[in-house]
Structures are given as C-alpha cells and as structure tokens.
Amino acid sequence: MSEYKFLYWDDAGDTQSEVDNQAVDTIAVYGTLKRGHGNHGFLSGSSVKFLGNGVTEKKYRLCISSLPYLLEGESNSGYNVKVEVYKVDSRTFRKIDMLEGHPHFYKREKTTVRLSNNNFVDCWIYFVKDVNAYDNMVYHEEY
C-alpha cells in the first residue's frame, strides 16, 4: 500500500510548493459519491479529475438498505459493480475517508477497475467492515 502525507493549505508551515505536490490517487465510487447523488460535492473542484465510468474486475456483493454497502470479499453471487473513477488529491482523499468512517465503518482497499475505454486502473474502493450486519442477501450491479 502507498504511504500518504496529508497536507492542507491551511496547515501551519505548508508552502505553495508542498500543496502543489500533494499525493494524488485514484478512487472508485459506487454510491452516494457518484454524480447525481448527495455526496458528490466531495468530488467537485479543481483538485479532482473524473477518469471515467467502469466496472470492478472482481465480482462483489453490493447491498442497498437506504445506503449502498459494498461487502468485502470477491463473490460469485455478486456483480462486476458499476463505478465512477476519479483522480483525487490527498486533501479530498482525507475528506472522503472521514465521510466513509475509514477505517472503522468502511475500510478502503485496492481493487482493479475496467474503464469503459477498456483500460484497467487500480483504485481505492470502500468496503463496509461489518459484513454480517449489512448483507441482506439481495445484490445489485449499481446504486
């Protein structure tokens, strides 16, 4: 896994150079962070780049019970989940970690996504930690 140093423009001592050179990484979103959903605002701004739509290379169980929950672990009973892929800076990444309750509620892990242009990209994606509490045995391809 990559090491991250989270820098914020408003942190004491940050220089413009440090802010300009913040680590960036790629995330795949499948729920309320997608376009048209309530938390998409976290992915707006000049520090975020939409890379495209795609599907997870592995099949996962996506449960929906008022909110979407991606269950950890590949499963033949699941789907190649439809996602949106974004390149984000470390500040946005940290805000999304906080929104998702990482690492206590959701836990992010790397997975491979096939973009609609058939390119593959490794992305962070958020899995709910308590699989038994959120597995309603009804699985979806998208939210």
Catalytic center residues: 100
Backbone angle region of 52, left / alpha / beta, with phi > 0 → left and psi within -120 to 50 → alpha: left
Task: Classify strands 82-89 and 120-128 as parallel, antiparallel or unpaired.
Answer: unpaired
Tell me 140's DSSP state: B
